[in-house]
Amino acid sequence: MNKPPISPPSATHLVWPAAVLIGLLAGLLLLAPAAQAACAEGLQPLSTPPQAAPDVSPRTSLLTLVRAAEQRSKLVGAARLLTDAAQADAEEARAGGLPQAALSTTAGPVGSQVEGDPLRTRSQLRPALTVSAPLYDAGRVDALGRWRDSLAEAAHQGQLSTQEQVALQAVTLALDRDRYRLHQQVWNQYAQKVCGLVDALEQIVAVDKGRRSELVQARKTLQQVLLSRAQSMTQLRQTEVKLRRLVGDTLPEIGPLSALLLDVPGLDDLDRLAANSPAIVQMDAQAQAANHLADATLAGQKTQASWQLAVSRNLMGDHTAAWSAGVTVSIPLFNPGFAPAAQSAQLKAEAARLQREDTLESLVSRLAEVHEQARAAMTRAHDVVDTLQSSEQVREATLQQWQQMGRRSLFDVVSAEGDHYSLRIAYVDALHDGQQAVALLWSLAGGVTQPLR
């Protein structure tokens, strides 16, 4: 437990007998806790720390938050609709090779004349049924089906990528929310510490006017701490505004997240996972779709054959009936646009393949960069912990020496306290920076929720 920050007269202002000084110090030692409590009445916490349900771990609560963000996201909903639309397009393309039937009706007068005979007219109401199906298309319908299937897979992977972006945003904002809540707690503790110092100095200055400069310094330090605490509260509120846009007006309470994503995964494992991430699989599907479209374009310039059966009957007049059946063969002879169309399709397929390779290279490079950032942040957090231990010893020794007949000045005490609490803020920042970098690593490799599960 920290000793109350009591300020006795310094050695340069010893103007009373020793007995009077000792009595004053003893009285202040007894009055300091009450004085600190009185000052702390104006230092109520600006928000309460998170209180998660007792049976729900922070990991589970964070997963629930991510799922709520995905369900609420309009971008995810739009991506899901695009996936369904791509599936419907694929079904339409596969249906191109199945038989098709059509019913048509012709109504109105009709006339005919044979040379030398008079014109003969009659009325007709002739329904007709036509059934047709392709016999041979050089694989065009099959290639179109594979093209649409690949586009549907690309749309599905795009949906997964969108979900991953929303999940990463939710996790990042949740970590920021936890960061600023811890900031607020640290600044509040620092303010209470300085508040007790101010109260003690006010009592000392009442009997020793020469210590007024120290009181001014302590009050200035308190104002600075309160400003920093207000700033952390503003950052917390801004983060919660962003989080509400993701999950709704009611924010779920999540327990402390300081020890949730501390393990930095190996870079080789991340590279292997990244090759199968939604972003890369989507590029693969798009490259395959371009290849299948090129095949369909080439097949469309080859011989095509189909069969057709038609039956009709006139329901008026002579009630004549007719039918026809046959095979239609189409052999392309000359098409000036064929060569450019085929070349365009092949070039698009090659471009899609190069884009996929470039995306994978960029992803691997980004993983290496973020991996180094995560390691550096975790190392920094570890180093700050070691420094904090030394800082605790320094601040205790400085405060004790200041209390013992002014062997240290108030400026030394304030400096030691400021360094200590600044290190605590630095530790919180390093820890959360590292966890956000780890979350980004998993997201780039395919799923930020993998370590949470």
Total length of the chain: 453
Mean pLDDT over the full length of the chain: 83
Q: Order of strands, edge to edge, in the sheet holding 304-313?
A: 100-112, 120-136, 304-313, 321-330
Per-residue confidence (pLDDT) for residue 5, from 0 to 100:
39
Establish if 121 belongs to a structural domain: no
Establish if 90 belongs to a structural domain: yes
Establish if 295 belongs to a structural domain: yes
Establish if 158 belongs to a structural domain: yes
Establish if 34 belongs to a structural domain: yes
Model confidence pLDDT, tens digit, residues 102-139 = 998 888 777 766 777 777 777 778 898 999 888 888 88
Against a cut of 0.85, is the pTM above it?
no
Establish if 253 belongs to a structural domain: yes
Structure tokens at 69: 């963000």
Q: Supply angle C-alpha 175, 178, 182, rounded to 5.
A: 140
Tell me the angle at which helices 267-274 and 338-403 cross, rounded to the nearest 10 degrees: 150
The residue among 70, 247, 243, 244 whose CA lies nearest residue 167 is: 70
Residue range of the domain that includes 184: 11-98+140-301+342-444
The residue among 46, 61, 59, 72 whose CA lies nearest residue 236 is: 46
Q: How far is CA 227 from CA 211, 289, 418, in A?
A: 25, 58, 14
Establish if 66 belongs to a structural domain: yes
Establish if 79 belongs to a structural domain: yes
Model confidence pLDDT, tens digit, residues 402-452 = 777 566 777 788 888 888 999 999 999 999 999 999 999 999 998 888 888
Task: Please give the residue that has the higher pLDDT: either 281 or 1.
Answer: 281
CATH number at residue 68: 1.20.1600.10
State the Cα–Cα distance between residues 361 and 271, nearest whole angstrom.
Answer: 10
Model confidence pLDDT, tens digit, residues 201-242 = 888 888 888 778 888 888 998 999 999 999 999 999 999 999
Winning range, highest mean pLDDT, from 42-51, 181-190, 246-255, 411-420: 181-190
CA dihedral 105, 108, 112, 118 (to 10 degrees): 160
Q: What is the total count of domains within the chain?
A: 1
